[in-house]
């Protein structure tokens, strides 16, 4: 009989311990509550940064929020300006490369024209110059003299262009 009572008592003690929260459970619950509070604060701060939920702020908090937003905006504008300047630099480098390639291709075309002209006999009609024969033999599109030599990069409104 004593054995049965001892087993009952030891079994009921084990059940009581299982019903009581352990230290680990209490620690996890406190961490969860702390993280939930941090998430709520961060959500509120994000809403306030978007201009929402501002009614609960006093004047000093509003001024601090304004200063934070101005600082962030300054950083955004600085980064944007730097990226635009980088793009302009890349485009300028590309423009120089294209000008060099254009000059190389013109020189190559000129050499080819000279070679073809040397290889084929040219019969001049009376009153015809060698330039007009070349132009007749190898027609080129007319050069737009107004814009063809202007390779500068223009920024700004059309109102302020020099043309």
Across the chain, mean pLDDT equals: 79
Domain boundaries, the chain: 1-56, 58-118
For position 89, what pLDDT does the model report? 96
Q: Does 158 score more than 50 pLDDT?
A: yes
Total residues belonging to the chain:
163
Alpha-carbon distance 134 to 113, whole Å? 8
- Per-residue pLDDT reduced to its tens digit, 73-130: 999 999 999 999 999 999 999 999 999 999 999 999 998 888 887 776 655 555 555 5
CB atoms within 10 A of CB 109: 12
Q: What is the pTM of this model?
A: 0.46
Higher-pLDDT residue of 64, 1: 64
Q: Does 69 score more than 90 pLDDT?
A: yes
- Per-residue pLDDT reduced to its tens digit, 18-63: 556 666 666 788 899 999 999 999 999 999 999 998 999 999 999 9
Contact 102, 158 (CB under 8 A): no
Beta carbons within 8 Å of 122's beta carbon, 6+ residues apart: 130, 133, 137
Band of the pLDDT at 163, cuts 50, 70, 90? very low
Contact 117, 136 (CB under 8 A): no
φ, ψ at 80 (rounded to 5°): -60, -45
For position 28, what pLDDT does the model report? 82
CB atoms within 10 A of CB 89: 10
CA-closest candidate to residue 138, choices 119, 112, 105: 112
Least confident of 37-51, 59-73, 135-149: 135-149
Distances (CA, A) of 150 to 96, 99, 162: 13, 11, 12
For position 6, what pLDDT does the model report? 86
């Amino acid at each position: 009989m004593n054995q049965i009572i001892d087993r009952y008592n030891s079994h009921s003690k084990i059940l009581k311990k299982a019903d009581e929260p352990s230290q680990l459970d209490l620690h996890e619950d406190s961490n969860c509550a702390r993280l939930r509070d941090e998430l709520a604060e961060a959500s509120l701060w994000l809403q306030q940064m978007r201009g929402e939920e501002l009614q609960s702020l006093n004047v000093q908090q509003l001024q601090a929020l304004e200063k934070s937003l101005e600082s962030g905006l300054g950083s955004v504008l600085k980064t944007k300006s730097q990226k635009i300047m980088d793009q302009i630099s890349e485009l300028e480098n590309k423009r120089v490369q294209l000008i060099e390639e254009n000059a190389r291709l013109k020189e190559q075309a000129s050499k080819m024209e000279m070679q073809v002209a040397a290889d084929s006999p040219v019969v001049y009609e009376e009153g015809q110059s060698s330039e007009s024969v070349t132009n007749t033999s190898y027609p080129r599109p007319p050069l737009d003299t107004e814009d063809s030599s202007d390779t500068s990069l223009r920024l700004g409104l059309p109102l302020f262009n020099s043309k």
